[in-house]
Structure 1
């Protein structure tokens, strides 16, 4: 890992952004080009709802800068099931839709569990065993987002660490924050943006998140976050930070403000 920090938003098609982010009259068909020139990563949310054609993946790769990265939200047909250990076929179908067309622009895959999904050690262990380390010649990185308090368990942290899977670090009052470092990268989703704040988060809050992101990239476990276990040994790692949901209209401004600080 290089210790690179990437800051992004969720998707690039959002009607209110045509008033607050995109220039007036900017063609809708060119919104990806504009967004990818102003942030350093985008989390693709549409893949949660439907498959994409290989040509679509290739087009996204073609229209973004050389050093740009997409993270990809895994299909709801995989993660919204009672028994995740039975998701093998769904995982294969999801990976086979054409993700490899992104090439080096493929970032982490986000596996977001339903809010009702509770921690079951055997089920989660078997699910993690199903996640491949590579596909079509590309190394895969996996980020797991639990949304139930029962995942605040050292057994879950150990499982994630054993599989080099990052636990998503949430900044959201609705979901548990588990900031333990479990992979050779970190993945944070910041969801407390406020519409009355032009940059979503206040200047002081953005300063603090910049400090936290630098700490992650340097390999540390920054203070002020909520951990289940203890600090993880320090080593450089890539850090992904997404301004997502909350007051979504402010997400691009929040991401750009954080990038400025970095």
Structure 2
């Protein structure tokens, strides 16, 4: 199994001169970040569909064993709120993620905090998510005229099609939700917050968006926290789960350092080594 540690996005001004070396030009930031981390979430896809050329360029700027997670579009999660979104999903999947090839990792679907649990809506959405390459290409083939380029369906080197979902409304905290995710092999995002401290796995991989730690007195992750998380990730790895662990949001300025420290605590090689 494989453990990857990383961050959300790679363009963040406060990282310049802290994570990124002083004077590094912006167009080389992805290459630098991917030389230090095992994975990065692509955030641009949340705001709008990207082009195949962009995905291909990002792939070309990263090491061979690097992977991206891709954030699902707000049009599906926040505007359509998971309802009647088949064509929106088709347009997203057809927009070019497959151009990442071997660097295509999981898709991450972040739900809005005010979206409450509706069993019919959640189950219909999960039924739409492709879990195989054939299902992916079939859905992407339904893209309509709102897609600005021909559907990108080539899949050279593409591995498993995986999905994780970040649920932020307390009404989703029940066994029916966890059972539905498990039935579709969709990972419940582990947030490590006071509100969402659970570390329940619902898929054959673990997906962490670490935003804590989950204690009231915490100002950020300490070295002891990093060691403890390394132990947790090793347990999941030894149990046969691939692991993706991203440091995001609340302590973003320190996210790269935390991801690197976690990689080092795990004894993982740098990408390309």
Matched, 1:90 2:112: no
Aligned counterpart, 2:241: 237
Give 1:218 deviation, angstroms: 1.6
Give 1:85 deviation, angstroms: 3.6
Conservation of the 8 A alpha-carbon contact between 2:191 and 2:212: no
Give 1:200 deviation, angstroms: 4.7
Aligned counterpart, 1:41: 39
Conservation of the 8 A alpha-carbon contact between 1:200 and 1:254: no
Aligned counterpart, 2:60: 62
Give 1:179 deviation, angstroms: 2.3
Conservation of the 8 A alpha-carbon contact between 1:82 and 1:117: no
Conservation of the 8 A alpha-carbon contact between 1:115 and 1:147: yes
Long gaps (5+) in structure 1? 194-198, 220-235
Aligned counterpart, 2:254: 250
Summarize deviations over 1:96-127 as a string: whole Å, max 9, x none: 11001001111000011111111111111111
Aligned counterpart, 2:203: 183
Give 1:192 deviation, angstroms: 2.5
Long gaps (5+) in structure 2? 137-152, 214-218, 267-273
Aligned counterpart, 2:179: 158
Q: Secondary structure of the equivalent of 1:19?
A: coil
Give 1:178 deviation, angstroms: 4.1
State the alpha-carbon separation in 1 of the partners of residues 198 and 84 from structure 2.
25
Q: Secondary structure of the equivalent of 1:16?
A: helix
Aligned counterpart, 2:130: 132
Aligned counterpart, 1:229: none
Conservation of the 8 A alpha-carbon contact between 1:171 and 1:191: yes
- 1:103 aligned to which of 79, 101, 104: 101
Between stretches 111-120 and 79-88, larger displacement belongs to: 79-88
In structure 2, the CA distance between the partners of 1:83 and 1:17, relative to structure 1 (3 Å rule), is closer
Conservation of the 8 A alpha-carbon contact between 2:192 and 2:198: no
Matched, 1:117 2:109: no
Give 1:171 deviation, angstroms: 1.4
Q: CA RMSD in A?
A: 1.5
Q: TM-score, normalised by structure 2?
A: 0.84
State the alpha-carbon separation in 1 of the partners of residues 212 and 197 from structure 2.
13
Conservation of the 8 A alpha-carbon contact between 1:185 and 1:238: yes
Conservation of the 8 A alpha-carbon contact between 1:10 and 1:244: yes
Aligned counterpart, 2:144: none
- 1:218 aligned to which of 217, 235, 238: 238
Q: TM-score, normalised by structure 1?
A: 0.87
Q: Secondary structure of the equivalent of 2:36?
A: coil
In structure 2, the CA distance between the partners of 1:218 and 1:151, relative to structure 1 (3 Å rule), is same
Aligned counterpart, 1:171: 192
State the alpha-carbon separation in 2 of the partners of residues 69 and 43 from structure 1.
9
Question: Where do 4+ consecutive residues of structure 1 move more than 3 Å?
Answer: 136-139
